[in-house]
Amino acid sequence: MNLTLNTSDVQYQLVQDAQSLESACQSLATAKVIGIDTETTGLDPRTHRLRLVQIAAEKMPVMIVDLAAIPIAKLKPLRQLLTNDSTKVFHNGKFDLSFLSMANLQSTGPYFDTQLASQVLFAGLKKSHTLAALASKFLKIELNKDLQNSDFSGKLSNDQLEYAAIDAAILLPLQKVLSAHLKRAQLLPTAFLEFEAMPAVAQMELNGMLLDQQKWLAVSLDLEAKKQVAALQLKELKIRHSSQLSLLPEYTDCVNPESPQQVLAALQSKGIPIDSTNKKTLIPLASQYPIIRALLDYRKSKITSPSLLEHVHPVTGRIHAQYRQCGARSGRFSCRSPNLQNIPRDKAIRSCFVASPGYKIIKADYSQIELRITAFLSGDRRMLKAYQQGRDLHTLTASLITGKPLSGITAEDRRLAKAINFGLIYGMGAAKLQVYAETEYGVMMTLEEAQLFRKRFFQVYSGVAKWHDRIRSTVYGRGVREIRTIGGRRRRWENKPRLSELLNHPVQGTSADITKIAIAKLFKTLGKTGAKLIGTVHDEILLECPEEQVAPVSRILQKCMLSAAAQFLNPLPVGVEIQVQESWG
């Protein structure tokens, strides 16, 4: 394997006319693998322009296409090259594909993304995944990135051209060495799963979500008003309750309810025995102390009203959040600017995310996917059987734990069972279960009851108990610092992981793998339906679909999601719930 690349003699050819483009593309078309990089006038594909497209292949000079010099109509050879069946190697291809797509230069796979490859390889560890870091680590080449943010809009210097050429050329040896590492670590399937999802994610970001700004303004004003009322109540209570503490000025006037430190000190000074002001500490005390009730009300009204309006794009009028495919150690997506994965479920709030005129929002959720994965991984007979029979696992758990017949399970029983199911599969203790059930599901229980429920849960689902034991003895107990999903996605730890983390990754990570496969399949299948992928929230996929296409697209969506899950969970049945609405709410 030839991994040497002397950056000082990377050859390149600057292409500024149609004829040179055609001949350069002809040579490059013979390559099985090409490295592609782009230079742009900025970071926003909607407002900044694509200036250069650099394409490298082994033993050829890097072709640098100057898009400022060649009319769009003459780019056909480039289009052909981008859509041939060679492997296209990118570094953070989401960025390049977004700009190519906006320049009406579509490309097709197969793709290899060196950044995603590195992230898959080192998931869980603190590593840098920049191109310079990878070049240094794997090729012992120190890239000079001084020109990365230089002005690529005007006349280009030789230094800029050389920089551009090197960034494309280096992708080829990097792809080789990363492939070898992925193969050795048995991570090729996971990496390819990421590569196939990558163009879908790029398109998802470009599509964005439409926010009804009028509606949102009304909702956020309403939230703000509620917050003011709560703050006022809080202030009055504080002043009254602390009036006798006039020697301590910070408690006499008002305490900033936003400051956990001040709130903690203030509450402690009133003799309330707490060591934290978080929800789970305060909720049990709320009935006893009006001030705590007021504080909780204040926080509730404070519901993160992220600066959504600031994220509405001036050109498209839509919100284009950034999804990071390997943003979470488990393989889940993370999302930011804004984080659309933690928008409150409150209908009033989610209803502000709407479909364009003539479109519908199609929202699809996997049903209890993490519990199903747990059933599969543990092999628990009772859970597997319940799912095979199409039963509702929460109701079953409620019945098994309370001893009531299935027909006698109330809504509260089922909420209790949800808390038990979701809490205990990752090994929650009784004390935490008690608090968790109350704060998340509004179900009260004594510590003794929590202990009993916990004991019963592991009795009735003994396969889950055995699965915990197995991980405890073969991984946790031996100090192993890595674990994998069903599909082989690996997460590693710098230090000894907690048992709960080891139990969680195979479940949460498998769920992420399934969603990513579904998104990749969907992207390939939606084709000319006009439906657009606009968001994903872990086990949920959101599409915006032309009204007349809703029926076929719903079927496609369901089929893609079910077949993605079947890749790992077959023959366990999986459920997908599809809703067609005017909005996300």
Q: How far apart are CA 416 and CA 438, in angstroms?
A: 9
In terms of CB distance, is 134 or 419 closer to DNA? 419
**Residue 235 C-beta: closest distance to DNA, Å:** 14
**Residue 515 C-beta: closest distance to DNA, Å:** 9
Tokens 């657009």 locate to 532
Instruction: Go through 246-270 and write b for each residue having 16 or more CB atoms within 10 A of its CB, e for each that does not.
Output: eeeeebeebbebeeeebbbebbeee
Two structure tokens written together for 59: 């033993």
Tell the burial category of 226 from Cβ atoms under 10 Å away from its Cβ (0-12, 13-18, 19+).
Answer: middle
Sheet holding 87-90, edge to edge: 12-15, 62-66, 50-56, 33-40, 87-90, 111-113
Element (H, E) at 104: none
In terms of CB distance, is 136 or 322 closer to DNA? 322
**Residue 217 C-beta: closest distance to DNA, Å:** 16
**Residue 419 C-beta: closest distance to DNA, Å:** 9
In terms of CB distance, is 153 or 301 closer to DNA? 301
**Residue 454 C-beta: closest distance to DNA, Å:** 9
Binding site for DNA (CB under 7 A): 256, 258-264, 276-279, 296, 299-300, 303-304, 306-307, 324, 327-330, 332, 334-339, 341-346, 422-423, 426-432, 436, 440, 472, 498-501, 504-505, 508, 537-540
The angle, 0 to 180 degrees and rounded to 10, between the axes of the packed helices 114-121 and 188-207 is: 130
Coil, strand, or helix at residue 465? Answer: helix
- Answer whether 340's CB lies under 8 Å from 537's CB: yes
In terms of CB distance, is 163 or 422 closer to DNA? 422
In terms of CB distance, is 74 or 432 closer to DNA? 432
**Residue 260 C-beta: closest distance to DNA, Å:** 3
* Amino acid in the structure at residue 579: Q
DSSP notation for 107-156 = ----EEEHHHHHHHHTTTS----SHHHHHHHHH------TTTTS--SSPP
**Residue 331 C-beta: closest distance to DNA, Å:** 9
**Residue 296 C-beta: closest distance to DNA, Å:** 7
- Answer whether 418's CB lies under 8 Å from 453's CB: no
In terms of CB distance, is 76 or 336 closer to DNA? 336
**Residue 282 C-beta: closest distance to DNA, Å:** 7
**Residue 507 C-beta: closest distance to DNA, Å:** 9
- Answer whether 322's CB lies under 8 Å from 302's CB: no
In terms of CB distance, is 240 or 432 closer to DNA? 432
Two structure tokens written together for 101: 């797509």
**Residue 237 C-beta: closest distance to DNA, Å:** 17
In terms of CB distance, is 437 or 553 closer to DNA? 437
Sheet holding 576-581, edge to edge: 532-536, 540-546, 359-366, 576-581
Coil, strand, or helix at residue 62? Answer: strand
Q: Where are the alpha helices (DSSP H) in 16-108?
A: 18-28, 76-82, 93-102
Closest to 253 in 3D by CA, of 228, 234, 273: 234
In terms of CB distance, is 175 or 341 closer to DNA? 341
Q: How far apart are CA 579 and CA 189, in angstroms?
A: 32
**Residue 522 C-beta: closest distance to DNA, Å:** 17
Contacts 24+ apart (CB under 8 A), 495-501: 499/427, 499/468, 499/471, 499/472, 500/426, 500/427, 500/428
In terms of CB distance, is 324 or 559 closer to DNA? 324
Q: How far apart are CA 376 and CA 303, in angstroms?
A: 37
In terms of CB distance, is 91 or 329 closer to DNA? 329
**Residue 28 C-beta: closest distance to DNA, Å:** 36
In terms of CB distance, is 98 or 504 closer to DNA? 504
In terms of CB distance, is 46 or 279 closer to DNA? 279
**Residue 333 C-beta: closest distance to DNA, Å:** 8
Closest to 560 in 3D by CA, of 538, 544, 578: 578
- Answer whether 99's CB lies under 8 Å from 45's CB: yes
Two structure tokens written together for 532: 């657009």
In terms of CB distance, is 123 or 560 closer to DNA? 123
Q: How many CB atoms lie within 10 A of CB 2?
A: 9
The separation between CA 169 and the C-alpha centre of its own chain, rounded to angstroms, equals: 30
